[in-house]
Amino acid sequence: MKREYMTTRDIVGPLMLVENVSGVTYGELVELEFPDGRRSLGNVLEVNEDVALVQAFQGTQGSNPSQTKVRFLGRGLTLGVSRDMLGRVFDGLGRPRDGGPEILPDKDVSIYGSPINPTARDFPDDFIQTGVSSIDGLNPLVRGQKLPIFSASGLPHNQLAAQIARQAAVLARSDDPQKVGEKLEGEFAVVFAAMGITFEDADFFMSELRNTAAIERSVLFLNLADDPAVERIATPRMALTAAEYLAYECDMHVLVILTDMTYYCEALREVSAARKEVPGRRGFPGYLYTDLATIYERAGRIKGRKGSITQIPILTMPEDDKTHPIPDLTGYITEGQIILDRNLHRRGIYPPVAVLPSLSRLKQKGIGPGKTREDHADLSNQLFGAYARGIQAKELAVILGEAALSDDDKAFSRFADAFEGEFIRQAEHEERSVEETLTLGWKLMTLLPRTELKRIKDDFVERYLPDMEG
């Protein structure tokens, strides 16, 4: 069967309409050869009788209808996976970018993966100590979770993600409180997918990983700002295919960082617009939710397998707007979100985690006796409550003046300041154990009237509240 054609009719943006084809299938991988000899990959988005709609991952610049060769490869888009990927850097389509040799694949797998059967999932419940108080104390991450960072331009999301990647450790579980908290050694790996970010940002991650020698346990897929935009649609799937191999076949605990999902979504929008699809909000396609879900839902744990995939997608909110479709739909899929706040950042607080709207939905599964400490949940609830009230008191003070506050409100307002200054704020290279984080939380509790500690069980207050006189 003839598999090579020069019958392109239309070229629109990244799309090509190829006529008089036969035997073409939906999703099929395509190789394009442009008049100047340049080659590019693509895939079939739609096939109608003898007409195929092809999206070109490296764009269509330099192509023309009559001289462009279109070869249908008879298979879908795959990634050759192997343990040897560790320590290597690939481009957004999974080809070596570091000058190293081609990978000898253990096998070729479709980058689209298959959905995990819900009955085969194991519920994520191992606490990951990130060493960051605003996460560990209040919005803890657990192994197998997907917890995005909602950021905005100019905020230090890269620093925070790198800090998490550097410090993340799983703690031993035990019924003996003395033994809880020891770091577990295990095989872990970092898979990093860059979509549309600058060389500088990518380089920052690489040098962070290099500095801690974590680079040998990392796989990087880079599609940078000046790389073809449509290629980005494949990049996170490349990364997750590698991650699934490492997690479920090599028993590794894999942390996947996907950045920046905003550029990924924009690439999707570009293709959708070229297809003249009916747009949803802000021009993004109506299937954006489903498309993102096929990425984020690839996080998790599977019963009977040792490895796991934890995802930290990063996205920058256009105009700092949480209701923009990208953060909005992400929030509807992920298991919580860590939101960074420009105000805290302006006031020099790192990491500028907006604690109140941030949320880790799996936290109740990951903390408590045997995992972290018995008082963790209550303390974290109380810190939330007190901080929320402190913020309200501060707003009131802005309107009515400090003097108009009741004694209690004054205490809460002082608490909020201390909470931001001591608990949320920490250095980029400061790693706090969860013990230290909790101790710090209790120290702040002493700023509040004891009768206000309503969300904490009495015995915990007895046991953990430091003596103020002492």
Partner 1 sequence: MEQGRIVKVAGPLVVAEGLALSRMYDLVRVGAEGLMGEIIEMRGTRCSIQVYEETEGLGPGDPVESTGAPLSVELGPGLLGSVYDGVQRPLDALEALTGAFLARGVTAPGLSREAKWAFDATVTVGDRVEAGDVVGIVQENKVITHRIMVPPNVSGTVQDIASGTYTVEQPVGHILTEDGSLEDLLLMQKWPVRVPRPYRGKLSVDEPLVTGTRVIDTFFPLMKGGVSCIPGPFGAGKTVTQHQIAKWSNAEVVIFIGCGERGNEMTDVLMEFPELVDPYSGEPLLKRTVLVANTSNMPVAAREASVYTGITMAEYFRDMGYNVVLQADSTSRWAEAMREISGRLEEMPGDEGYPAYLGTKLAAFYERAGKVATLGGPLPEGTVSGEDASADKAGSERIGSVSVVGSVSPPGGDLSEPVVQNTLRVVKVFWALQDTLAFQRHFPAIDWLTSYSLYLDKVKPYWVENVGTEFRPRRDHCMEILQRESELAEIARLVGVDALSPEEQILMETAKSIREDFMQQNAFRDDDQFTSLAKQDRLLKMILLFHEKALEAHAQGAPLKRIFTAPVRERITRAKYSEEDQMSVFDEIGSDIETQLVGEGLKVGDAR
Among 332, 356, 427, 450, binds ligand ATP (CB under 6 A): 332
CB of 113 to partner 1, least distance (A): 7
For 465, residues 6+ apart whose C-beta sits below 8 A from its C-beta are 442, 445, 446, 450, 453
CB of 231 to ligand ATP, least distance (A): 30
| Residue 444: Cβ-neighbour burial (10 angstroms; 0-12, 13-18, 19+) | buried
Choose the contact partner of 54 out of partner 1, ligand ATP, none; CB within 5 to 8 A by kind: none
CB of 316 to partner 1, least distance (A): 17
What region, left, alpha or beta, does residue 180 occupy, with left being phi > 0 and alpha being psi -120 to 50 degrees? beta
Looking at the Cβ atoms of 3 and 361, the one nearer to ligand ATP is 361
Choose the contact partner of 313 out of partner 1, ligand ATP, none; CB within 5 to 8 A by kind: none
Report the alpha-carbon distance of residue 375 to residue 371 in Å, rounded: 11
Report the alpha-carbon distance of residue 290 to residue 373 in Å, rounded: 38
Q: Which helix (H) or strand (E) holds 306?
A: none
Q: Which residues, numbered 362-391, are part of the site for partner 1 (CB under 8 A)? A: 362, 364, 381, 384-385, 388
The dihedral of CA 323, 325, 327, 329: what is its sign? positive
CB of 453 to partner 1, least distance (A): 12
CB of 386 to partner 1, least distance (A): 11
CB of 266 to ligand ATP, least distance (A): 23
Contact of 318 with 324, CB cutoff 8 Å? yes
Q: Which residues, numbered 144-163, are part of the site for partner 1 (CB under 8 A)? A: 144
Q: Report DSSP state, residue 119.
A: G
Site string for partner 1, 5-44 (x = CB under 8 A): -----------------xxxxxxx----------------
Looking at the Cβ atoms of 173 and 361, the one nearer to ligand ATP is 361
Residue 365, interface with ligand ATP (CB under 6 A)? no
Choose the contact partner of 289 out of partner 1, ligand ATP, none; CB within 5 to 8 A by kind: partner 1
C-beta atoms surrounding 422 within 10 Å = 14
Site string for partner 1, 233-252 (x = CB under 8 A): ---------------x----
The residue whose two tokens read 């999301």 is 157
Q: 58, 40, 47: which is closest to 20 by C-alpha?
A: 47
Report the alpha-carbon distance of residue 445 to residue 454 in Å, rounded: 12
Residue 361, interface with ligand ATP (CB under 6 A)? yes
Looking at the Cβ atoms of 208 and 266, the one nearer to partner 1 is 266
323-350 in b/e burial notation, b at 16+ Cβ within 10 A? ebbbbebbbebbbbbbbbbeebbeeebb
Q: Which residues, numbered 337-366, are part of the site for partner 1 (CB under 8 A)? A: 337, 356-357, 359, 361-362, 364
Residue 293, interface with partner 1 (CB under 8 A)? yes
For 439, residues 6+ apart whose C-beta sits below 8 A from its C-beta are none
Closest residue to ligand ATP, Cβ-based? 361
Q: Which residues, numbered 109-138, are part of the site for partner 1 (CB under 8 A)? A: 110, 112-124
Report the alpha-carbon distance of residue 328 to residue 292 in Å, rounded: 11
Contact of 109 with 245, CB cutoff 8 Å? yes
Looking at the Cβ atoms of 199 and 332, the one nearer to partner 1 is 332
Q: Which residues, numbered 23-82, are part of the site for ligand ATP (CB under 6 A)? A: none
Which residues of the shown chain bind ligand ATP in the complex (CB under 6 A)? 332, 361
